[in-house]
Amino acid sequence: MPEKFDVIVVGAGPAGTACALTCARAGLDVLLIERGEYPGSKNVMGGVLYRKQMEDLIPEFWKEAPLERPVIEQRFWVMDKESVASFGYKGLEWGVEPYNNFTVLRAKFDQWFAGKAVEAGALLINETVVTECLVENGKVIGVRTDRPNGEVLADVVVLADGVNSLLSKQLGFHKEFRPDEVALTVMEVINLSKDKINERFNLEDNQGCTIEIFGDSTKGNLGTAFLYTNKDSLNIGVGTTLSSMIKAKLKPYELLDYLKNHPMVKPLLAGGESAEYLAHLIPEGGYHSVPRVAGNGVVVVGDAAQLVNAIHREGSNMAMHSGLLAGESIIEAKNRGNFSESTLNIYRDKLHDSFIIKDLEKYKDAAHTFESYPQYFKEYLPMMNQAMSTFFTVDGTPKREKQKQIIKSVTAEKGRLRVLQDIYRAWKAVK
Ligand SMILES: Cc1cc2nc3c(=O)[nH]c(=O)nc-3n(C[C@H](O)[C@H](O)[C@H](O)COP(=O)(O)OP(=O)(O)OC[C@H]3O[C@@H](n4cnc5c(N)ncnc54)[C@H](O)[C@@H]3O)c2cc1C
């Protein structure tokens, strides 16, 4: 007879570990199964970890977690061929407790975080792939792994197996992605001395900076690039929806090369040495792509449930919070001795009451709008750079005249009515 646990969690990323930790703390028997050599060994992230959702799980985690730098500055660049229009915020209050967010390297962070679930009593097994869920009379009763005699049973199985989630596909929770529902992102970790990072990004030790880059970074396609500072390395990456990649015949590694050699970026990387090259999908379908998240004996959390807010680059925090909510719901189900879908729907309801579904709902039409109307990325972003160049170039033209020139050039190219329609449509998508 296979061994039985209260809960089996598949995947020790932020979502799975948060759920395992929550359940183990309540005294449940938890098995956390990870296919990687150790948690984080296979995981990819631009690197911004949000304080709030992590603190809900481990108060004052920053005192012991392997973090890179607290982020004190967030910059946004609209990039054209030889320019950037830049805006952002830098605040020293983000550099002191309780902080706002941090850069992290997932290989270190996930390992530490999973260790916390183990300390709370969860059993972690690495280098083990869950190949399928075991289903009996319409209820998930456990999992099969790639180990000899690798069947394990549980009252509840938590699918925290990330964006591809073959297991939720097996259960029919979601289908294959459409190419506009996922972004393909490539990134590189570039080693650079702490002093050079501080000098180039105007930082001191233990201060970090993030730059989100739009426009020419994706050659005008729907997507973004990023450049984040770690202690003594930089994370640089770029991604677009798979549909944009296909349509524009983009090759992800060529996009990254293009970005690294862009005149606005290259000096920031100069002298750095490439340490790691990674590629990963991000679920970006948003609200409309969130599948069913609870069934008989099973719940789905994190990227496996498509819980990513691409506009605000929030994924790891949604993963953690969904893991926490799933954990609380499983504890309630245990108290009731009932693991049916209707009981586990407590998790679905908590998710809908939380910032996660509320935020996804707010932006539910954004991805579709920007995908369907490419002029926002292809035409308006370069126009913004052109307008700023015109406005800030001192050439004796009166400022009111410059304003008129800018408005005229935009409306002459596109027509006043179309510009107004485009503004209204964009506002509706993000309001
Ligand atoms: C390039 C990039 C940049 C990003 N930047 C940010 C950012 O700056 N901030 C942010 O908040 N989010 C960011 N995200 C999103 C964030 O990484 C994810 O939302 C988050 O990692 C989701 O966590 P998760 O636990 O659901 O899934 P994952 O982190 O993908 O973890 C899934 C785990 O399951 C394991 N697994 C999978 N299948 C199996 C199986 N069959 N058996 C056993 N184990 C299995 C995997 O090895 C992995 O450890 C970024 C994503 C990418 C790709």
Exposed/middle/buried for 138, CB within 10 Å: 0-12, 13-18, 19+? exposed
| Cα(163) to centroid(ligand 1), Å | 7
Q: Quote the ligand 1 centre to 279 CA distance (angstroms).
A: 12
CATH class of 179-283: alpha beta
Q: What is the pLDDT of residue 176?
A: 86
User: How far apart, in Å, are the Cα atoms of 382 and each of 3, 43, 61, 264?
Assistant: 60, 34, 42, 15
pLDDT score of 182: 95
Decide: 134 and 151 in contact? Cβ < 8 Å. yes
Q: How far does residue 320's CA lie from ligand 1's centre (Å)?
A: 11
How many whole angstroms from 11 Cα to the centroid of ligand 1? Answer: 9
- Helix H, strand E, coil C: the string for the chain is CCCEEEEEEECCCHHHHHHHHHHHHCCCCEEEECCCCCCCCCCCCCCEEEHHHHHHHCCCHHHCCCCCCEEEEEEEEEEECCEEEEEEEECHHHHCCCCCEEECCHHHHHHHHHHHHHHCCCEEECCCCEEEEEEECCEEEEEEECCCCCEEEEEEEEECCCCCCHHHHHCCCCCCCCHHHEEEEEEEEEECCHHHHHHHHCCCCCCEEEEEEEEHHHCCCCEEEEEEECCCEEEEEEEEEHHHHHHCCCCHHHHHHHHHCCCCCHHHHCCCEEEEEEEEEEECCHHHHCCCCEECCEEECHHHHCCCEHHHCECHHHHHHHHHHHHHHHHHHHHHCCCCHHHHHHHHHHHHHCHHHHHHHHCCCHHHHHHHCCHHHHHHHHHHHHHHHHHHCCCCCCHHHHHHHHHHHHHHHHCHHHHHHHHHHHHHHHC
Whose tokens are 């028997």? That residue is 29
Measured on CA atoms in the order 57, 3, 130, 38, is the torsion positive or negative?
A: positive
Give me the pLDDT at residue 413, please.
74
Q: Which atom of ligand 1 is nearest to the CA of 307?
A: 19
Enter the tokens of residue 342.
């209707």
| pLDDT at res. 411 | 86
Q: How far is CA 329 from CA 141, 174, 304, in A?
A: 17, 22, 18
**Ligand 1: centre distance to CA 222 (Å):** 21
Ligand 1 pocket test, candidate residues 282, 318, 320, most atoms within 8 A of CB: 282
Kindly give the distance from the C-alpha atom of residue 296 to the centroid of ligand 1, in angstroms, as a whole number. Answer: 25
Q: What string of pLDDT tens digits covers the 431 residues of the chain?
A: 899 999 999 999 999 999 999 999 999 999 999 999 999 998 889 899 999 999 999 999 999 999 999 999 999 999 999 999 999 999 999 999 999 999 999 999 999 999 999 999 999 999 999 999 999 999 999 999 999 999 999 999 999 999 999 999 999 998 888 999 999 999 999 999 999 999 999 999 999 999 999 999 999 999 999 999 999 999 999 999 999 999 999 999 999 999 999 999 999 999 999 999 999 999 999 999 999 999 999 999 999 999 999 999 999 999 999 999 999 999 999 999 999 999 999 999 999 999 999 999 999 998 889 888 888 998 999 999 999 999 999 999 999 999 999 998 888 877 888 989 999 999 998 88
Report whether CATH 1.20.1530.20 matches the domain 4-67+104-174+291-353: no
Pocket of ligand 1 (CB under 6 A): 10-16, 33-36, 39, 42-48, 129-130, 160-162, 185, 187, 237, 280, 282, 302-304, 308, 313-317, 319
Ligand 1 mutation target, pool 45, 230, 299, most atoms within 8 A of CB:
45
Looking at residue 75, its pLDDT comes to 98
Q: Which atom of ligand 1 is nearest to the CA of 165?
A: 38
Q: What's the 302 CA to ligand 1 centre distance in angstroms? A: 8
Å from CA of 390 to ligand 1 middle = 43
Kindly report the protein residue whose alpha carbon is nearest to atom 52 of ligand 1. 45
| Atom 15 of ligand 1: nearest residue by CA position | 315
Best of 9, 21, 35, 235 for a ligand 1 pocket test (most atoms within 8 Å of beta carbon): 35
User: According to the model, what pLDDT value does residue 371 have?
Assistant: 86
Which atom of ligand 1 is closest in space to residue 145's alpha carbon? 42
CA 303 to ligand 1 center in whole angstroms: 6
Q: Is the pTM of this model over 0.85?
A: yes
- For the chain, give every domain's residue range: 4-67+104-174+291-353, 179-283, 367-430
Determine the Cα–Cα distance for residues 45 and 368; give it in Å rounded to an integer. 24
Residue 82 CA, ligand 1 centroid: distance in Å: 34
Q: Using an 8 Å Cβ cutoff, are 310 and 183 in contact?
A: yes
Task: Indicate which residue's Cα is closest to atom 35 of ligand 1.
Answer: 11
Residue 243 confidence (pLDDT):
93
Q: Are strands 71-80 and 139-145 parallel, antiparallel or unpaired?
A: unpaired
Burial class (CB in 10 A: 0-12, 13-18, 19+), 396: exposed
